[in-house]
Chain A
Protein backbone atom coordinates (compact mmCIF):
# COMPACT_ATOMS: atom_id res chain seq x y z
CA UNK A 1 0.00 0.00 0.00
CA UNK A 2 1.49 3.28 -1.13
CA UNK A 3 1.65 5.84 1.66
CA UNK A 4 2.03 9.59 1.85
CA UNK A 5 2.85 11.00 5.27
CA UNK A 6 2.45 14.53 6.53
CA UNK A 7 2.71 16.07 9.97
CA UNK A 8 -0.85 16.99 10.91
CA UNK A 9 0.23 20.16 12.71
CA UNK A 10 -0.95 22.73 13.38
CA UNK A 11 2.12 24.56 12.19
CA UNK A 12 2.02 28.11 13.51
CA UNK A 13 4.13 30.85 11.95
CA UNK A 14 4.06 34.65 12.36
CA UNK A 15 2.96 36.83 9.48
CA UNK A 16 5.84 37.50 7.11
CA UNK A 17 7.79 34.36 8.06
CA UNK A 18 8.61 31.35 5.89
CA UNK A 19 6.34 28.34 6.38
CA UNK A 20 7.88 24.96 5.60
CA UNK A 21 5.60 21.99 4.98
CA UNK A 22 6.97 18.49 4.49
CA UNK A 23 5.74 15.28 2.95
CA UNK A 24 7.32 11.82 2.66
CA UNK A 25 6.20 9.01 0.38
CA UNK A 26 6.81 5.28 0.31
CA UNK A 27 6.74 4.39 -3.40
CA UNK A 28 10.18 4.86 -4.97
CA UNK A 29 8.55 4.70 -8.39
CA UNK A 30 6.53 7.87 -7.79
CA UNK A 31 7.01 10.38 -10.57
CA UNK A 32 4.74 13.37 -10.00
CA UNK A 33 4.05 15.36 -6.87
CA UNK A 34 1.33 17.87 -6.09
CA UNK A 35 0.51 20.40 -3.41
CA UNK A 36 -3.10 21.42 -2.79
CA UNK A 37 -4.49 24.01 -0.40
CA UNK A 38 -7.83 23.39 1.30
CA UNK A 39 -9.65 26.05 3.28
CA UNK A 40 -12.03 24.85 5.98
CA UNK A 41 -15.26 23.56 4.44
CA UNK A 42 -13.99 24.02 0.88
CA UNK A 43 -12.55 21.75 -1.79
CA UNK A 44 -8.80 21.40 -2.50
CA UNK A 45 -7.25 23.80 -4.98
CA UNK A 46 -4.00 23.12 -6.80
CA UNK A 47 -1.01 25.22 -5.75
CA UNK A 48 1.70 23.59 -7.82
CA UNK A 49 3.17 20.34 -9.06
CA UNK A 50 6.74 19.16 -9.48
CA UNK A 51 8.24 16.29 -11.47
CA UNK A 52 12.00 16.76 -11.30
CA UNK A 53 14.47 16.81 -8.43
CA UNK A 54 15.27 20.27 -7.17
CA UNK A 55 13.25 23.41 -6.66
CA UNK A 56 10.31 24.87 -8.52
CA UNK A 57 9.19 28.40 -7.71
CA UNK A 58 5.84 30.06 -8.35
CA UNK A 59 5.39 33.43 -6.71
CA UNK A 60 5.66 33.05 -2.94
CA UNK A 61 5.59 29.25 -3.22
CA UNK A 62 8.55 26.92 -3.75
CA UNK A 63 8.24 23.17 -4.09
CA UNK A 64 11.33 21.08 -3.35
CA UNK A 65 11.69 17.48 -4.43
CA UNK A 66 14.31 14.97 -3.30
CA UNK A 67 13.59 11.57 -4.84
CA UNK A 68 16.59 9.88 -3.22
CA UNK A 69 15.27 10.75 0.23
CA UNK A 70 11.64 10.39 -0.87
CA UNK A 71 10.39 13.71 0.36
CA UNK A 72 8.77 16.74 -1.12
CA UNK A 73 8.34 20.06 0.65
CA UNK A 74 6.49 23.31 0.15
CA UNK A 75 7.91 26.63 1.27
CA UNK A 76 5.65 29.66 1.59
CA UNK A 77 7.55 32.94 1.79
CA UNK A 78 6.14 36.08 3.40
CA UNK A 79 3.30 34.06 4.94
CA UNK A 80 -0.03 35.86 5.19
CA UNK A 81 -3.06 35.15 7.40
CA UNK A 82 -4.90 34.20 4.18
CA UNK A 83 -2.45 31.29 3.80
CA UNK A 84 -4.00 29.67 6.89
CA UNK A 85 -5.43 26.41 5.56
CA UNK A 86 -4.75 22.69 5.33
CA UNK A 87 -2.09 21.75 2.79
CA UNK A 88 -2.41 18.37 1.10
CA UNK A 89 0.46 16.53 -0.53
CA UNK A 90 -0.41 14.11 -3.35
CA UNK A 91 1.84 11.64 -5.13
CA UNK A 92 1.42 9.68 -8.33
CA UNK A 93 3.30 6.59 -9.41
CA UNK A 94 3.69 5.05 -12.77
CA UNK A 95 1.33 5.80 -15.64
CA UNK A 96 -2.17 4.73 -14.84
CA UNK A 97 -1.79 4.96 -11.12
CA UNK A 98 -3.97 7.23 -9.10
CA UNK A 99 -2.96 10.09 -6.87
CA UNK A 100 -2.43 9.12 -3.23
CA UNK A 101 -3.13 11.96 -0.81
CA UNK A 102 -1.61 12.64 2.57
CA UNK A 103 -3.88 13.62 5.45
CA UNK A 104 -2.68 17.22 5.28
CA UNK A 105 -0.87 19.74 7.48
CA UNK A 106 -2.81 22.55 9.13
CA UNK A 107 -1.01 25.89 8.77
CA UNK A 108 -1.88 28.89 10.93
CA UNK A 109 -0.37 32.26 10.14
CA UNK A 110 -0.68 34.69 13.05
CA UNK A 111 -0.88 38.42 12.43
Chain B
Protein backbone atom coordinates (compact mmCIF):
# COMPACT_ATOMS: atom_id res chain seq x y z
CA UNK B 1 0.00 0.00 0.00
CA UNK B 2 1.31 3.41 -0.96
CA UNK B 3 0.96 6.21 1.47
CA UNK B 4 2.42 8.58 4.00
CA UNK B 5 3.23 7.57 7.56
CA UNK B 6 3.90 9.85 10.50
CA UNK B 7 5.18 8.92 13.91
CA UNK B 8 4.57 9.13 16.72
CA UNK B 9 0.82 9.76 16.85
CA UNK B 10 1.25 11.71 20.10
CA UNK B 11 4.41 13.41 21.33
CA UNK B 12 5.10 15.14 24.61
CA UNK B 13 7.78 17.79 24.89
CA UNK B 14 9.39 19.06 28.07
CA UNK B 15 10.58 22.62 28.49
CA UNK B 16 13.82 23.30 26.57
CA UNK B 17 13.71 19.99 24.74
CA UNK B 18 14.10 19.40 21.01
CA UNK B 19 11.80 16.77 19.53
CA UNK B 20 11.72 15.20 16.06
CA UNK B 21 8.62 14.19 14.14
CA UNK B 22 8.98 11.51 11.49
CA UNK B 23 7.41 11.55 8.02
CA UNK B 24 7.93 8.80 5.45
CA UNK B 25 6.27 8.30 2.04
CA UNK B 26 6.42 5.48 -0.48
CA UNK B 27 4.52 7.29 -3.22
CA UNK B 28 7.71 8.23 -5.09
CA UNK B 29 6.74 11.89 -4.72
CA UNK B 30 9.39 14.55 -5.16
CA UNK B 31 7.80 17.27 -3.02
CA UNK B 32 7.11 17.08 0.71
CA UNK B 33 5.63 19.56 3.15
CA UNK B 34 5.15 20.21 6.85
CA UNK B 35 2.10 22.07 8.15
CA UNK B 36 0.96 23.15 11.56
CA UNK B 37 -2.74 23.28 12.46
CA UNK B 38 -4.07 25.05 15.54
CA UNK B 39 -7.68 24.64 16.72
CA UNK B 40 -10.13 26.50 14.50
CA UNK B 41 -7.41 27.56 12.08
CA UNK B 42 -6.28 26.47 8.67
CA UNK B 43 -3.02 24.84 7.77
CA UNK B 44 0.12 26.95 8.02
CA UNK B 45 3.18 25.92 6.04
CA UNK B 46 6.35 25.38 8.07
CA UNK B 47 8.84 24.00 5.51
CA UNK B 48 8.72 22.32 2.14
CA UNK B 49 11.12 20.43 -0.07
CA UNK B 50 11.03 19.97 -3.83
CA UNK B 51 13.95 17.59 -4.08
CA UNK B 52 16.47 15.69 -1.99
CA UNK B 53 18.99 17.87 -0.13
CA UNK B 54 16.96 21.02 -0.75
CA UNK B 55 14.23 22.68 1.29
CA UNK B 56 12.66 26.11 1.74
CA UNK B 57 11.08 27.99 4.62
CA UNK B 58 7.35 28.35 4.68
CA UNK B 59 5.34 31.00 6.47
CA UNK B 60 6.18 29.97 10.06
CA UNK B 61 9.64 28.36 9.96
CA UNK B 62 11.05 30.02 13.09
CA UNK B 63 11.76 27.46 15.82
CA UNK B 64 11.67 24.51 13.42
CA UNK B 65 14.27 22.68 11.32
CA UNK B 66 14.10 19.96 8.65
CA UNK B 67 16.31 17.73 6.57
CA UNK B 68 15.78 15.88 3.28
CA UNK B 69 18.54 13.31 2.96
CA UNK B 70 16.33 10.71 1.27
CA UNK B 71 13.43 11.10 -1.15
CA UNK B 72 11.18 9.10 1.14
CA UNK B 73 11.86 10.94 4.38
CA UNK B 74 11.32 14.50 5.61
CA UNK B 75 11.72 14.73 9.41
CA UNK B 76 10.76 17.88 11.30
CA UNK B 77 12.55 18.98 14.48
CA UNK B 78 10.71 21.28 16.86
CA UNK B 79 13.44 23.14 18.72
CA UNK B 80 13.40 24.76 22.14
CA UNK B 81 13.19 28.11 20.32
CA UNK B 82 9.59 27.33 19.38
CA UNK B 83 7.78 28.76 22.40
CA UNK B 84 4.28 27.60 21.57
CA UNK B 85 4.67 24.19 19.93
CA UNK B 86 1.36 22.63 21.00
CA UNK B 87 -0.44 21.84 17.73
CA UNK B 88 -1.39 19.16 15.22
CA UNK B 89 1.48 18.62 12.76
CA UNK B 90 0.71 17.35 9.29
CA UNK B 91 3.11 16.04 6.68
CA UNK B 92 2.08 15.98 3.02
CA UNK B 93 3.58 15.05 -0.32
CA UNK B 94 2.91 15.74 -3.99
CA UNK B 95 4.38 14.62 -7.30
CA UNK B 96 5.73 18.11 -7.89
CA UNK B 97 5.03 21.74 -7.21
CA UNK B 98 2.81 22.77 -10.09
CA UNK B 99 1.68 22.04 -13.62
CA UNK B 100 -1.00 19.67 -12.40
CA UNK B 101 1.38 17.82 -10.07
CA UNK B 102 0.70 19.86 -6.95
CA UNK B 103 -2.13 17.79 -5.48
CA UNK B 104 -1.09 17.13 -1.90
CA UNK B 105 -1.80 13.98 0.08
CA UNK B 106 -1.55 13.98 3.84
CA UNK B 107 -0.22 11.67 6.50
CA UNK B 108 -2.27 10.91 9.64
CA UNK B 109 -0.61 13.65 11.69
CA UNK B 110 1.26 13.98 14.98
CA UNK B 111 -0.23 15.77 17.94
CA UNK B 112 2.45 17.57 19.97
CA UNK B 113 1.75 18.51 23.56
CA UNK B 114 3.92 20.42 26.01
CA UNK B 115 4.38 19.06 29.53
Contacts and interface: CB of A to CB of B under 8 A. Distances in A.
A98 B100 contact: no
Interface residues of B, number: 22
Contacts of B99: 95
Interface in B39-67: 40-43, 45, 48, 58
Contacts of A49: 103
B106 A43 contact: yes
Interface string A3-29: 010001000000000000000000000
A92 B40 contact: no
Main secondary structure of the interface of B (DSSP, over half): loop
A42 interface: yes
B48 A98 contact: yes
Contacts of A95: 97-99
Contact of A8 (B40, B100, B102): B40
Interface in A71-111: 88, 90, 92, 94-99, 101-104
B40 A98 contact: no
A35 to B, nearest CB: 11
A104 B33 contact: no
Nearest to B56: A98
Contact of B104 (A4, A51, A99): A99
Contact of A97 (B33, B98, B105): B98
A102 B40 CA distance: 11
B85 interface: no
B106 A45 contact: yes
Contacts of B103: 34, 46, 49
A99 B98 contact: no
Interface of B: 33, 35, 40-43, 45, 48, 58, 90, 97-100, 102-109
